[in-house]
Structure 1
Amino acid sequence: MVLIVEDDPLICMMLEDIVDEAGFDFESAINATDGIAALEKRGTRFSALITDIRMPGKGNGWDVGHRAHELLPLLPIIYMTGDSAAEWKAHGEAGSILLQKPFANALLIAALSDLAYLATGVFA
């Protein structure tokens, strides 16, 4: 199952469709607080995390990725951003991928598959 953390409803629906069509189950959260709560309650169910960086409210995608890494050090993390790519080296978790918005759907699917393979040795 993939955890998707994205505050924009249209982008979130698009991500859900992409992930679903690629054969992954998913759960979505609308902000960093909800994403972290999902990780803390059901973290072992997730095989990957896709998170936006900038979101309203308390916390951001870097916080979600950091908490994910604390709880599940091998969890693949895909960060998405339209304006924060330069911050990835300073804030992104080791082994994560950053996708600059907008990106092609196939790029997200490839990133999910590559990270799943690296984390487990098995293609999803």
Structure 2
Amino acid sequence: MSADPRAGALLYVEDEVLIQQLVECELRDAGFGLVLAADAEEALEILDSGRYQIQGLITDVNLGAGADGWAVARHARELISGLPVIYVSGKDGHEWTSSGVPNSVMITKPFVPTQIVVAISSLLNAAEPHN
């Protein structure tokens, strides 16, 4: 059973529907509440709205037209200091060191959804409360 996203949730940003569905299923099965966004614009609106208590961010780096996952994570960290962040990319991840926020994790495609569950669980367990 998933938690009420307003009580604490992960924001998952992915523009590829099939990947989003696979990872969403794995995260929900692991007990995480989720708020989904299909692109950066939607993710930024969710973050700025304050409707949800976002406890972690999982974002694809390449989100099509507009802002990318790097920008989404930077904005999220401006709003929520210390927010756990996981980036997902089909590239080798070399940009992560220069573009990623500190204390984040990069997972490269192809991956299995359990990798994301393990990574976000580790980050959440290590994170200080940021309410």
TM-score, normalised with respect to structure 2: 0.87
**Cα deviation, residue 82, structure 1:** 0.6
The 1-side partners of 2:11 and 2:94 are apart by 24
Q: Structure 1 segments of 4 or more deviating over 4 A? A: none
Structure 1 portions without partners, runs of 5+: none
Structure ranking higher in helix proportion = 1
Which residue does the alignment assign to 2:36? 28
Identity within the alignment, %: 32
CA shift, 1:70, in A, is 0.5
Deviation of 1:102 after TM superposition, in Å, equals: 1.1
> Aligned match of 2:27 in 11, 19, 24?
19
State the superposition RMSD in angstroms.
1.4
AA aligned opposite 1:89? T
| Residues 47-85 of structure 1 deviation map (CA, whole Å, 9 limit, x = unaligned) | 110000001121000000100111001110000001150
CA contact (8 A) 1:6 1:51 kept: yes
Residues 1:68 and 2:58 are matched in the alignment: no
Count of aligned positions = 121
Q: Could you tell me whether the CA contact under 8 Å between 1:43 and 1:71 is conserved in 2?
A: no
Residue of 107, 110, 116 corresponding to 2:124: 116
TM-score (norm 1): 0.92
